[in-house]
Amino acid sequence: MAKKANVAELKEITHLNIIESFSEFKEIKSIDKATLMNVIEDVFKAMLRKRFETDENFDIIVNPDKGDVEIWRNRVIVEDDKIESPNTQIALSEAIKIEPDFEVGEDVSEPVNFMDFSRRAILAVRQNLSSRISQLEKESLFKKYKDKEGDIISGEVYQIWKKEILIMDDESNELILPRTEQIPSDFFKKGDTIRAVVLSVEMNGTNPVITLSRTSPSFLERLFEMEVPEIFDGLITIKKIVREPGERAKVAVESYDDRIDPVGACVGVKGSRIHGIVRELKNENIDVINFTSNPTLFITRALNPAKITSIKIDEPTKHADVYLKPDQVSLAIGKGGHNIRLAARLTGYEIDVYRDAENYTEDVPLDEFGDEIEGWILDALKSIGCDTAKSVLELTVEDLAKRTDLEEETIKEVQSILKKEFEG
């Protein structure tokens, strides 16, 4: 008797567990109610088929709002000696125990008690249900974020590794921000809130892998949409964005309404709109440019802040030779070459810059020769007041050597480089 009592106790515990488990599923927000009910029905039908060989004469009533389930078994009343299928038929003598007024030919519905099933059967239902719900959650998560590709989301830093950061969204879903998709100057610690764009959503086996990015051009585009109502409303269109994350970005914009200045709208009064974007991007310099289909004008604008003297374009090869005054060359190239590289990517033209021949007779600042003469040498010359090419050439080698402590051989090489600037 003690053994039977223990078995009954185990069944009761298992029964409570499965109901408790099912009750938890009603809290799942990522799965629509109809889908959840269908899955629950399928799981319990599988249990019934295993026990009774069929589920056709059973009604499964799922109430996800309450977190419970009822199973009713339907049988037809027959004479006691005419039972052919105990699963679908019930003897009249048994039926009248349920309701004295029952007659042969009527239908009887009885609730199925979980206690009638083995502990193993109930555990199997629980495991099957958990597995199916878990897979549904993964599929729902995949679809949710697949629809968000290209959108900005916020999350909390949960774990920091060498090559990536694990981020949790507000529903505790795991998102990945690889090191390669972080701005070089990004620094985060556990608990920080991060904004990033959903770069890709892929399935790794049965698990969705959601990858975020802060370096993608679409991240900058979404930030502009959030800060500039005219872009969000479609009055201003972003034609193209190119970035060197953390350093510089160029954004070509266009307005179809002549009354709207697209660049002014994006920048805002005293930079009010663009300042928030720049801060988010760790002080990345952002050039907002009026788009035009005129390649000469577009290249001119793309090389801002340099002032262009003239441009020669070879359309078949998409090549542009740009001529500038000497003091504008370094501006066109930009620090580390960022400006000219981004201008080329924005316009689609390979760009080469040249000092304008008409200006070769003009004096040239020493800083313009930074790519040919080492910085410490230029600093030594500037320390004695020689900050232009001609001011260096006007002095003798001996005088320069005495005043700067530079080697005469070094000074001769410097003057040779500077003289070439004025030849031809």
pLDDT tens by residue, 86-106: 878 888 888 888 888 888 888
Residue 316: which region, alpha, beta or left (left: phi > 0; alpha: psi -120 to 50)?
A: alpha
User: What is the value of pTM for the model shown?
Assistant: 0.65
pLDDT tens by residue, 1-22: 333 334 344 344 444 445 555 5
Reply yes or no on whether the pLDDT at 49 is more than 50: yes
Residue 174 tokens read as: 């795991």
Reply yes or no on whether the pLDDT at 334 is more than 70: yes
Which has the higher per-residue pLDDT, 311 or 39? 311
The span from the CA of 337 to the CA of 340, in Å, is 6
Q: Are the C-beta atoms of 307 and 351 separated by less than 8 Å? A: no
The span from the CA of 253 to the CA of 230, in Å, is 11
pLDDT for res 372: 87
Residues in the chain: 424
Closest CA to 418 of 403, 296, 402, 400: 400
Reply yes or no on whether the pLDDT at 263 is more than 70: yes
pLDDT for res 20: 54
Q: Are the C-beta atoms of 296 and 284 separated by less than 8 Å? A: no
Residue 300 tokens read as: 């001119």
Could you give the C-alpha distances from 340 to 301, 336, 348, in angstroms and in order?
12, 9, 12
pLDDT for res 24: 56
Residue 178 tokens read as: 């690889």
Kindly tell me the sign of the dihedral angle through the C-alpha atoms of 126, 127, 132, 137.
Answer: positive
Other CB atoms within a 10 A radius of the CB of residue 183 amount to 19
Mean pLDDT on 304-318: 91
Mean pLDDT on 270-296: 93
Helix (H, G, I), strand (E, B), or coil: what is residue 39?
Answer: helix
The span from the CA of 50 to the CA of 125, in Å, is 11
Which has the higher per-residue pLDDT, 26 or 133? 133
Residues 6+ apart with CB under 8 A from 191: 156, 157
